[in-house]
Amino acid sequence: MDTAVDDRMLSTGLERQALDHVWIHSANWNDLVTGGQLKVIDHAEGSYLYDIKGRRYFDALSGLYVVNAGHGRREIAEAIGTQAAKLAYVSSATMTNKPAVLLADKLAALTPGDLNRIFFCSGGSEAVESAMKIAKQIQALRGFTDRRKIIARKGGYHGATFGAMSVSFGRNADYFAPFMEGVSFIASPNRYRNEFGIEGEAGDLRCAEVLEEEILAQGPQTVAAFIAEPVSAANGTHVPSAAYWQKIREICSRHGVLLIVDEVICGFGRLGTMFATEQFGIVPDLMTMAKGLTSGYVPMGAVAVSDAAYEVFKGTDHALAHLLTFGGQAVAAAAALANIAIMEREDLPASCRRIGATLERLLAPLAAHPTVGDIRGRGALWVLDLVQDKTTKEGFGKGAAAQKHPYIRRLSALLDERGVLTRLMGTIQLVPPLVATDAELAEVVKAIDESLSIAEQEFQFR
């Protein structure tokens, strides 16, 4: 097979260099080279990206659920420049710096309850790795040296590094097994295809009860922590009831299991409050965050730990047995502070609630499409669940397999032609920046509506 890149397919030298040297994480060779799907983005403003050929795209996934404050924020760029010129880096092992202190103080104030101790890192996977290690060390320092197991949820996603991957569903055993030991998975709330066939809130609550059953089956004295996203985007954006989360909290507390809530996607306004846990009325023992923390202007992640959990380190000479070179990097902290200042000044969580109401109204008529089985979401995190048959709810395959289905490929191409960038797997995801206007959203929903109509007609869905 000839795998050479044909110059005639490339409009600029930059594209050639991209195809020759950049490893774009999840794109395959054929799509990029022969399918012409390479996009080299040049600049961005608000909700829009512009590629090097001058084409404009609506950023319907906020990058990768990241750019909550929108693109082109000079204020964040200036904070980054000023801090880099003053102080970029000091050792994270033995000292800290002014922006990191101010950011930790701010996050302690913004996060619910007694989440007052902030461990900084560089992204979501690192936050999850760190949270699991912190949880295990806390259990050991409390005297529970056998509490090493982690329970996670089917369909959840917590990152790509070995520990985070091990607690994520869809981890690829063919390439990466063996995984971290002592991980088991329980059902995740799903009101469209509930694992137990139970509808509504009762279905959510059954998914909480199975946590207790799993803890008892594993032996409570062996379980360190339970980890889950408030609403799992990876698992199809099913918003559970507050009662689900309150039951989970109760079960964890009753059995001495630390609750890690992964707010990497939901945090920083994505669901209409600064953190999603606020809406569910719970305080986790550890909370992970990344993505919207800096809105992507520089990489950063963090773990917020409760006072109660941190207690075992207080007044002792125990240090955390975990160190990351870039923890609390000064430029990243300055970017996060500037980003949070914008979120507060412009009340982006409120803007997100407006987006939620607009999307609910605009998307409702799309339920009439023969391939739209369900429309659900909250705030600025929505999906249209695509099905081949509304009665059986049969989809187009899971994850990457769905991306290869000819109907999904066609739908992707139609959206791309209309300048809408999103991710299509078993669902169409609609996750706009929190600055998206109602007029922009109306244009995007119209593009989705048109694309569905064309593809459905071509594939004879009716």
Residue 425: closest CA among 445, 405, 444, 440: 405
Q: Which is nearer to ligand PLP, 73 or 158 (CB)?
A: 158
CB of 150 to ligand PLP, least distance (A): 14
Q: Which is nearer to ligand PLP, 83 or 288 (CB)?
A: 288
The binding track of 208-237 with respect to ligand PLP, each residue x by CB under 6 A or -, is: ---------------------x--------
Q: Using CB under 6 A, which of 58, 120, 157, 244 touches ligand PLP?
A: 157
Task: Residue 21: count other Cβ atoms within 10 Å of its Cβ.
Answer: 7
CB of 15 to ligand PLP, least distance (A): 25
Asked whether 419 and 56 are in contact (CB, 8 A), the reply is yes
Residue type, 399: G
Among the listed ranges 46-54, 147-155, 262-270, 355-363, the one in contact with ligand PLP (CB under 6 A) is: 262-270
Q: Which residues pair with 46 in a beta bridge?
A: 71
Q: Using CB under 6 A, which of 15, 59, 204, 262 touches ligand PLP?
A: 262
Q: Using CB under 6 A, which of 44, 239, 248, 264 touches ligand PLP?
A: 264
The binding track of 116-145 with respect to ligand PLP, each residue x by CB under 6 A or -, is: -------xxx--x-----------------
Distance between CA atoms of 455 and 125, rounded to whole angstroms?
36
Residue 426: closest CA among 406, 448, 397: 397
Beta strands in 2-87 (DSSP E): 41-45, 48-51, 56-59
Q: Which residues contact 39 (CB under 8 A, 6 or more apart)?
A: 51, 57
Residue type, 232: S
Angle at 256 between CA 251 and CA 261, to 5 degrees: 65
CB of 323 to ligand PLP, least distance (A): 18
Integer angstrom CA distances of residue 147 from 130, 166, 333, 344? 16, 17, 33, 40
Give the SS3 label for residue 205: helix
Give yes or no for residue 112 binding ligand PLP (CB under 6 A).
no
Give yes or no for residue 374 binding ligand PLP (CB under 6 A).
no
Dmax of the chain from CA atoms? 69
CB of 287 to ligand PLP, least distance (A): 11
Give yes or no for residue 158 binding ligand PLP (CB under 6 A).
yes
Q: Which is nearer to ligand PLP, 110 or 290 (CB)?
A: 290
Give contact residues for ligand PLP (rule: CB under 6 A).
Answer: 123-125, 128, 157-159, 229, 262, 264-265, 290
